[in-house]
Structure 1
Amino acid sequence: MNSRSNPAQRASLAHSHWGVENIVAALRESREVTHKIRYLGRVRELPSREAVQGIIKGLSAAMFPTHYGHADLTAETIDYYVGTTLSSTLAILVEQVRRALCFVPGRENCDDDSIEQEAIAITREFAAELPAVRALLVSDIRAAYQGDPAAGSTSEVLLCYPGVTAIIAHRIAHPLYKRGVPLLARLITEIAHSQTGIDIHPGAQIAESFFIDHGTGVVIGETAIIGRNVRLYQQVTLGAKRFPVSDDGSLVKGNPRHPIVEDDVVIYAGATILGRVTIGRGSVIGGNVWLTRDVPPESQVSQVQCAQV
């Protein structure tokens, strides 16, 4: 019999041809001994990227059912759809929260019943906050519609704008980050990052009516604080100026190191703002500016001004 027509023979031939046994043994040696990098040295259940994608989709649909759920929903069916979608999504979320809690320092025993109970409590609190999350998102959507003359409707903003996709993910992730599930929150925002090119750390504090126009290449760091009615354009960076190290040479984590942007600020394309500086209320930061100092309220900063400093 020709081995090309026999799947079992083809598999056996490939197995021997590629030296799979030796490769598997070498990978085991790397995984278990030479280059072991498991958290706390143990195999544990990881949050599922596929499941988290489903959570983002389900929560988006529960908050904006005709835009992200089913376009043909009616007044008679919409509440039923929202209820069933939310229930099934939260059932997935609680398991992902449980898994993510196993990566929080001090959670060495993932089989502890208390972790499951904590996951349930976190998910319940998160779910209760969804109406407030939606209210924030409505303010963001209105800011996009009002701030972009090319926007024909709020539906266009919801369906087409990558900045809205990114901020939806952030508004979902931030409450989970605050409740002590940073790995899951980071996974949510990084999925949006891969889709949009907009990188918002879930720890960033962002007030209402936030608008990212165009958006590609925007970076917002973990400890950034952004006030009301702020608008950013593409390739804006709100980053850290330096990374302090501890006595053992490791990076100091969690210290405030990103900018504070006060209310009613506009930051144009390509601007880079680094360090724990404050951009005062009502200021306008011009395109391609490199800024590492405080800016008083109602300022206008351009490349020329920065070059003269």
Structure 2
Amino acid sequence: MDKESIIKKIIQHKKQPNLRYRLKHNVENFTDRLFFMLFDIETPVEENLDILESEFDELVRLACWQLETPCKKVWNNYMAKIPTILEKLNLDAEAIVNCDPASLSIEEVYMAYPGFYAIAIYRLAHELYEEGFPMVPRLMTEYAHRQTGVDINPGAKIGDSFFIDHATGVVIGETAIIKNNVKIYQGVTLGGLYVAKNLQNTKRHPTIENNVTIYANATILGGKTVIGENSIIGGNAWITSSIPPNSTVYHKPEIKIKTITNGS
């Protein structure tokens, strides 16, 4: 096959007219600037807010494929929510520094904790998701996922003072609801019982009530599953039905002691 034929074949199979990977790169730049504007003391707010608006206009151009989508109106609504988002993130950071004996300072939490970074990008993406802005919120949380190992769908609803410790391997699905003062550890999954396209508009992921702690590698599945307030879910637990308030659930290991036989 000659070069011209190869080119024609490649063009023939490039079937997605709206697939511009520049959008992904631009979203990452937008996310970085937004994060720095909120937390870095050397990043001026007014100047960068203007730059963010300009970058957002480009995201609108790249992401709003349907002309009737009122994406241009989103920025003003989103900008008005940023102070509240920052307030929530400060509560998250305070929850981490107050709960984790390994944290040496609040500055360490902001700069070095992957769980905090994942929560920050989730909260910034979630408000765009709520505005109905296409694609960009998911690209934001996937950017954080790639850096931290934490996969939070921007559609999840998460309350105040949320703490993810160690972070790596955490998965929180689109319709999960997490209320206030919840702490989870690495490897926790808040997922669906099974995957089917016809469940797109149904609640598929669990609800976690106030003051719950979920230890490493626990798996909690199902849209009807509710973990009652003040409960503790032990490591490696597998839960597919609701747990009443003030419960402790743990995975009981089976221990078998190997008998050493005499070789004679």
Output the TM-score relative to the length of structure 2.
Answer: 0.90
Which residue in 2 is equivalent to 1:12? none
CA–CA separation in structure 1 for the residues paired with 2:96 and 2:247: 23
Task: Determine if the alignment matches structure 1 residue 251 to structure 2 residue 251.
Answer: no
Q: Percent sequence identity over matched residues?
A: 40
Deviation for aligned residue 1:43:
4.5
Residue identity in the other structure for 1:59? L
Deviation for aligned residue 1:162:
0.4
Which residue in 1 is equivalent to 2:28? 53
CA–CA separation in structure 2 for the residues paired with 1:212 and 1:19: 55
Which residue in 2 is equivalent to 1:282? 230
Which residue in 2 is equivalent to 1:247? none
Query: Is the CA contact (8 Å cut-off) linking 2:71 and 2:133 kept in structure 1?
Result: no
Q: Determine helix, strand or coil for the equivalent of 1:48.
A: helix
Query: Is the CA contact (8 Å cut-off) linking 1:65 and 1:82 kept in structure 2?
Result: no
Query: Is the CA contact (8 Å cut-off) linking 1:237 and 1:271 kept in structure 2?
Result: yes
Counterparts in 2 of 1:71-86, with a 5 A limit? 81-86=44-49
Which residue in 1 is equivalent to 2:104? 152
Which residue in 2 is equivalent to 1:141? 93
CA–CA separation in structure 2 for the residues paired with 1:199 and 1:123: 25
Task: Determine if the alignment matches structure 1 residue 241 to structure 2 residue 224.
Answer: no
Residue identity in the other structure for 1:243? V
**Larger proportion of helix:** 1
Deviation for aligned residue 1:94:
2.7
Task: Provide the alpha-carbon RMSD of the alignment.
Answer: 1.9
Deviation for aligned residue 1:48:
1.3
Deviation string for 1:156-202 (max 9, x for gaps)? Answer: 00110001111111011001000111411101000000111100000
Q: Determine helix, strand or coil for the equivalent of 2:4.
A: helix
CA–CA separation in structure 1 for the residues paired with 2:248 and 2:58: 48
Query: Is the CA contact (8 Å cut-off) linking 2:166 and 2:185 kept in structure 1?
Result: yes
In structure 2, the CA distance between the partners of 1:211 and 1:43, relative to structure 1 (3 Å rule), is closer
Match of 1:191 among 118, 143, 146: 143
Which residue in 1 is equivalent to 2:10? 27
Query: Is the CA contact (8 Å cut-off) linking 1:90 and 1:123 kept in structure 2?
Result: yes
Which is further off, 178-187 or 222-231?
Answer: 178-187
Which residue in 1 is equivalent to 2:38? 63
Residue identity in the other structure for 2:105? S
Query: Is the CA contact (8 Å cut-off) linking 1:95 and 1:119 kept in structure 2?
Result: no
Which residue in 1 is equivalent to 2:220? 273
Deviation for aligned residue 1:233:
0.3
Deviation string for 1:42-98 (max 9, x for gaps)? Answer: 4576661221111111111221122xxx3xxxxxxx7xx110011101210132134
In structure 2, the CA distance between the partners of 1:43 and 1:259, relative to structure 1 (3 Å rule), is closer
Q: Determine helix, strand or coil for the equivalent of 1:303.
A: coil
Q: Determine helix, strand or coil for the equivalent of 1:216.
A: coil
CA radius of gyration, larger in: 1
Which residue in 1 is equivalent to 2:247? 299
In structure 2, the CA distance between the partners of 1:272 and 1:173, relative to structure 1 (3 Å rule), is same
Deviation string for 1:120-166 (max 9, x for gaps)? Answer: 32111100100000001001000111111000011000110001111
Residue identity in the other structure for 2:6? I
Output the TM-score relative to the length of structure 1.
Answer: 0.77
Q: Which runs of 5+ in 2 are unaligned?
A: 254-264
Deviation for aligned residue 1:100:
2.2
Q: Which runs of 5+ in 1 are unaligned?
A: 1-17, 71-77, 245-249
Aligned residues: 252
CA–CA separation in structure 1 for the residues paired with 2:55 and 2:18: 21
Match of 1:89 among 24, 30, 52: 52
Which residue in 2 is equivalent to 1:6? none
Q: Determine helix, strand or coil for the equivalent of 1:251.
A: helix
Q: Determine helix, strand or coil for the equivalent of 2:216.
A: coil
Query: Is the CA contact (8 Å cut-off) linking 1:241 and 1:275 kept in structure 2?
Result: yes
